[in-house]
A = this chain, B = another copy of it.
Amino acid sequence: MKVVTFGEIMLRLQPEGYKRFVQADRYEAAYGGGEANVAVSLANFGLDTEYVTKLPKNEIGQGAVNSLRKYGVGTEFIARGGERTGIYFIEKGASQRASKVIYDRAGSAIAAASPEDFDFKKIFEGADWFHFTGITPAISSAAAGITLETVKIAKAKGLTVSCDLNYRKKLWSKEEAGKTMTALMPYVDLLIGNEEDFSDVFGIKADASDIKAGELSKEGYMSVAKKVKDKFGVKEVAITLRGSISASDNKWRAMLYDGQFYFSKEYSVHIVDRVGGGDSFAAGLIYSELNGFDKQKTIEFATGASCLKHSIEGDFNLVTAEEVSSLIGGDGSGRVQR
């Protein structure tokens, strides 16, 4: 089974340990980006993947390609050209101090790409699933146009299409997001978001009665999912429910809705790196669905995969399907494996 994802991969620069940006005399360098993170996670689960983007023909762009090849992601259809590779700086938070991201992605090769850079008819040959996030159409209007064309082709070719809303307020306004994402919805089978995305992008909120002491109740999430499914006719809606105690400790669970509601167990996670948490959840869903897991196992697998991601440095979820299965099978005690 083969999954195609499309988006932007950036150079990720992070001060060592808990150092702040102004203390950094050294940056840990890696690559990451929503859709690339999904592709790597799926490759680690053993699926065939193709990641599509555009990257400059220099060593910084090559580094991005290599970071994907290293984990077995297909890079055959990455267009090469353009001026620069997007960059994001990230400072790891702790306790009451939040992690901080500074984007430096304007003018990247993918933002300036044109439809001719990608032959999606060819790219989708033999593929079963297409995944994208709300970041891709947000990068530039050109990227938004390509994304729309792409989902149409995907649909026409019979692929399942999943979309993670991933609203980024620094990239576009709620209005732009709402308009663009709404136009994409007819082609989406599985729609994924966190607790704020549906409100930010579509203005879909839980009823007032579902909010208690400033926190959304389980019923609130259920009501949002139902409204989303009803409005756009997507087959499934998945929502992650993060309980942010501090930058060091989170609660983490999720919900899947296909007409019925499925809730995962809740994890208390001690955070190593929470970037890519949502992407690892999306990958878990895709893997589960392609393997025909039942819905309860699907949401458990996706949530468990994402739980493990929080313990791993970098954007990529470097765990195997066996490791996820072992966790959701009950082994979360962290005993040494030897």
Footprint of B on A, CB under 8 Å?
A: 13, 17-30, 58-60, 62-63, 66-67, 69-72, 83-85, 87, 89, 91, 93-104, 106-107, 168, 170, 244-249, 267-272, 274-275, 307-308, 310-314, 318-319, 323, 327, 331-338
Contact = CB atoms under 8 A, between A and B. Distances in A.
Contacts of A69: 69-72
A272 B26 contact: no
Contact of A18 (B99, B246, B312, B334): B312
Contacts of A94: 270, 272, 311, 334
5 contacts: A21-B60, A22-B66, A66-B72, A93-B311, A170-B338
Given A69-B72, A96-B307, A96-B311, A26 B26 contact: yes
Given A23-B318, A24-B29, A69-B71, 13 more contacts: A18-B311, A26-B29, A60-B89, A66-B71, A84-B104, A94-B270, A95-B269, A97-B311, A97-B312, A98-B334, A100-B336, A246-B270, A275-B336
Contact of A337 (B85, B96, B101, B311): B101
A124 B113 CA distance: 38
Nearest to A94: B311
B168 A338 contact: yes
A100 B326 CA distance: 14
B25 A95 contact: no
Nearest to A304: B96
